[in-house]
Amino acid sequence: MVEIEYRKARIKLGYTDLVYEPAEDSVLLADAALKEAKAGIHILEIGTGSGFVSAVLLANLKDIRLIATEINPHAARCAKINGVEVIRTDLFKALKPRSLETRFDLILFNPPYLPTSREEKVPGWLNYAFDGGTSGRETLDRFLNEVRDYLKPGGEILVLISSITGLDPVKEKMEKLGFAVDVVTRKKISFEELMVVRGKLL
């Protein structure tokens, strides 16, 4: 298994035709989450993939509690190998809303964001890493519709988005759902700009 090292975390990667290989988006989210997280907090990562972002947090922060979810069984297995506690489920499905144990201070998501038509789908489980539906925002929109139920009062979310799907519709939706919104980091890479958007529950 190929292993990479980033900020004290050593991460074993799964086969790249089965599990999303961490890239600039993963690094941007991990760095933003490291800045945001404080010792002692309870963190949830949705769609952990190889476990890269969660493993970086676990390797660098003291006393955090962290769990993750992932829909792709190959990715869930890979994240477990990397020391991440993972529940294999669709977004929040296996978590009980309104239970104290499933209320978090910080929730992270690097969602599939590519606008994808039926013909553009990638075969197998890896499609979940890329396929954002025709708008590119279908999975992110489902996440945003549900996330409030899993946050503690004053809790925050960090989501990775791309200029391909656009900041304005995401910001508008988050504000309607009761979040104060700002962009905490941006990075231009070839044809797109990646952004980490923070939503703080008002």
Q: Is 14 in the site for ligand SAM (CB under 6 A)?
A: no
Rounded Cα distance, 197 and 80, in Å? 27
For residue 77, the minimal CB distance to ligand SAM (Å) is 12
Rounded Cα distance, 48 and 66, in Å? 11
Stretch that binds ligand SAM, among 42-50, 146-154, 171-179, 194-202 (CB under 6 A): 42-50
Q: Is 116 in the site for ligand SAM (CB under 6 A)?
A: no
**Chain centre to alpha carbon of residue 97:** 19
Give the x/- contact pattern for ligand SAM in 140-179, rule: CB under 6 A: ----------------------------------------
For residue 2, the minimal CB distance to ligand SAM (Å) is 14
Rounded Cα distance, 91 and 140, in Å? 10
Stretch that binds ligand SAM, among 32-40, 68-76, 97-105, 176-184 (CB under 6 A): 68-76
Stretch that binds ligand SAM, among 5-13, 71-79, 170-178, 180-188 (CB under 6 A): 71-79
For the sheet with 65-70, list strands across it.
86-88, 65-70, 42-46, 104-109, 151-162, 192-201, 179-189
Q: Is 47 in the site for ligand SAM (CB under 6 A)?
A: yes
Rounded Cα distance, 147 and 197, in Å? 14
Residue 148: Cβ-neighbour burial (10 angstroms; 0-12, 13-18, 19+): middle
Q: Is 44 in the site for ligand SAM (CB under 6 A)?
A: no
Binding to ligand SAM (CB under 6 A) within 84-103 occurs at: 90-91
Q: Which two tokens stand for residue 17?
A: 């035709």
Binding residues (CB under 6 A) for ligand SAM: these are 20, 22, 25-26, 29, 46-49, 52-53, 69-72, 75, 90-91, 110, 112, 128-129, 139
